[in-house]
Chain A
Amino acid sequence: MMQLRDAFEYMVSRWTDQLVVTSAGHSSGTWWDLTHDRDRVFYLTASMSLSSMFASGIAVGNPGVNVWAMSGDGAFVMNPGMLFVERRMNLPNLTHFLISNRCYGSTEEVDISFSDHADYAALARAAGIERSYDFQELDDFRDRFDEAVLAQGHSFVVLNVDRVGKDVRTATMDGPEVKFRFGRHVEDITGQQIFNVLP
């Protein structure tokens, strides 16, 4: 089993120009704690399962930009049907990371009671997502990172991690600041105008 921080440290070391959408709980807090990035990351807190759909919207509108979406398993079990939509869209620039710690990380790590019997990667394959990966160990994740994450094509990557065991605070920004900083960055890298433009 990996430590979330170790897995994220490795991801950060390989992070180049991808846009990142975090989910509630420890993914948001840990990514913020490691990077303090306010521009390339959309800290989507407490969306109750919508981070990969949100990221899909970014990815479909910006086909030249790779997007990393993070979900916790608490969010995922609320809405596993998201996998069907992801498969239908089959976005070549979207990687969906499922951070599986078998608890609700943002709510005092209360157990997810279904997790002992759930195989999330198998669920994704059953939904038709062929590039579905399940990593238990950090070395394996590192070894296959290029194949699972950097290779072009939609993929679904389960990271099995231990519980963090402590509160990890996310970015100290209000919602509109997250929107504007992230949006300005998208404007910079794509050359398109997002704000102050009306249809």
Chain B
Amino acid sequence: MAPARRDISNRIADELSECGIGLVASLPDDWVADLIKVVEADDRFIHVPVNREESAVGLCSGTFFSKTYSAAVMGASGMLTCIYAITKISYTYEIPMFFLVSMRGAIGDTAKYQVSNGIYFLDVLDTIDLPYKIIESSDQLLEIPRVHRHSRVYSRPSAIILSREVLQGEA
């Protein structure tokens, strides 16, 4: 594991903990895989690997009815599979939740199979009025608590979108 990448994963975990987040649901994308390993090993969090990303929406929405703040970690393609769950649960009932998502398919992604998702990913979030911040530099990780808090104010989901360079410890 490259030290810089692990350092970023640790910093993200610290920011999540700083938010008071105690439960992390995840489904791996290879850019967030190291973060998931860090969360799994960190006893500040209940880590729940889910079978599909929509399950994370159900689970994290349920935690709203408790003092347990939660986050869902996944790739952009995974978040695209959640649109119905978001509009159905989060929007119908106005329940906040918080996503941490890798910005797959963007410039810099060498995986051709991610491109078709990346083309439309941000447009889809814009279309459903889901607020997000794109994190392209590690010094922007301080935005995590603000974006998390906004989901509670907005009573709907919000998202942090992480670039490859940040997640790889290169920016």
Chain A residues with CB under 8 Å of chain B are 21, 42, 44, 46-62, 79, 81-82, 84-85, 88-89, 175-176, 178-179, 182-183, 186, 190, 192-194, 197-199
A198 x B49 contact (CB < 8 A): no
Contacts of B64 in A (CB 8 A): 57, 183, 194
Bound complex: CA A5 to CA B108 (Å): 57
B58-72 interface code vs A (CB 8 A; 1 in, 0 out): 111111111111100
- Interface range on chain B: under 10, 10 to 19, 20 to 34, or 35 or more? 35 or more
Bound complex: CA A79 to CA B61 (Å): 17
Contacts of A44 in B (CB 8 A): 89
A60 x B46 contact (CB < 8 A): yes
Bound complex: CA A176 to CA B94 (Å): 6
- Residue B141, interface by CB 8 Å: no
Main secondary structure of the interface of B (DSSP, over half): helix
- Residue B164, interface by CB 8 Å: no
- Residue B57, interface by CB 8 Å: yes
B51 x A81 contact (CB < 8 A): yes
Bound complex: CA A51 to CA B153 (Å): 24
Main secondary structure of the interface of A (DSSP, over half): helix
Nearest-CB residue, chain A, relative to B54: A50
B49 x A88 contact (CB < 8 A): yes
Contacts of A62 in B (CB 8 A): 65-66
A57 x B93 contact (CB < 8 A): no
Bound complex: CA A198 to CA B66 (Å): 13
- Residue B104, interface by CB 8 Å: no
Bound complex: CA A44 to CA B59 (Å): 13
B58 x A57 contact (CB < 8 A): yes
Nearest-CB residue, chain A, relative to B70: A57
Nearest-CB residue, chain B, relative to A176: B94
Please tell me which one of the listed residues A21, A56, A175, A199 contacts residue B69 in the complex, with CB atoms under 8 A apart: A199
